[in-house]
Each structure stands twice: as C-alpha cells, then as structure tokens.
Amino acid sequence: MNEPLAERVRRRVRDIPDFPTPGILFRDITPVLADAALFGDVITHFRQRFAQARPDVLVAIESRGFIVGAPLAQALGVAFVPVRKPGKLPAETVRIDYQLEYGTDALEVHRDAIAPGQRVLLVDDVLATGGTAAGCIQLVRQLGGNVVHTGFLIEIAPLGGRARLHDLPVESLLIYR
C-alpha cells in the first residue's frame, strides 16, 4: 500500500464527541491499536525517526503513552521508564507539580529511573496543550536527564502544545490542524 502512514492512521482514529466532558472531541487511538499491521508500521516509523537521536532511555507518560512507548523502547533497544500519576509507583519517587490550562496536576517517576546525563526520548499518544509533556520534561531534568527528542502519535495543533516543549524536537505522526 502506497498510502502515507499518517493517512492510514487518520482513517483509523475514531472521533468521540463530548468525551470525557461536553465540548471535547476525543481522538480515540484504540482502532489503530486493533490493527496489528498498522500499529507495527507506527512503531517501525518511530524507530526509524528516533534512532538517530541515540536515546539511552525512553520515558512514556501514563497511560496511553505506555502503549506506544514500551514497544518502541524494545525496538530501539533502550530502557523503558514509566511516568505516572502520584501514588502509582512502588519505590521511592520524585514528584513534580505542574500547571495545566485549568488547574494543576502532578507526575512521579522512580528516583533511580534516569541517571544524570542520560539521553531521554519522551513519548506520549497525544500532544494537546502540552502541559503534561512539559511537566514530564521538568521531571526528567530534575533527575539530571537530557531530553533529546519528543514523539507523539497525534498532535492537536490548534491547542498549541508544541510551543510548551522548550524548543525540543517534536515528531508527531498525525497532526490535526
């Protein structure tokens, strides 16, 4: 098939109006995940795009970021580090509270998950306002890690998330404008 990968993904993403709250159009990636060949092509695409960044560690954000992050870390041959909401990780953690458009939130990572100087690839399913990704970048930097690239399956460009990522390289497979 010669159709570009982004268009193949776009055709499979399901729009769910008014989820999780009225006025939100949720971009559901589960149909992409249900298509094994397509999901495999997504991971292959990202592996090819991120190999030259030479990450030591792939950090993925709870929870759908894990779905993309774990197989991508395996494909790149690097460590996988989950970043989670408070209280979900069993060992000693480092926490960051960060600002969202409407309120605050927090993220945690194991204190020993990222060594100072390690090159970090940050991955999530969707880049929207960028608040969660920016908070995660701060958390990685607090541990001494060096975020070298960011990657997202979907980017919702009108929400301006890219601008919050501290001028880091951003790779988004599918961009809604």
* Catalytic positions, written as ranges: 64, 101
Place of tokens 């989670």: 84
Q: Can you read off the two tokens belonging to residue 164?
A: 């919050």
Three-class HEC string of 128-167: CCCHHHHHHHHHHHHCCCEEEEEEEEEEEHHHCHHHHCCC
- 177 vs 170: CA distance, rounded Å: 15
> In this structure, are residues 176 and 26 in contact, taking their beta carbons and an 8 Å threshold?
no
Q: b/e per residue, 133-155, with b = 16+ CB within 10 A?
A: bbbbbebbeebebebbbbbbbbb
How many C-beta neighbours within 10 Å does residue 116 have? 8
Q: Before 63, cis peptide (omega within 30)?
A: yes
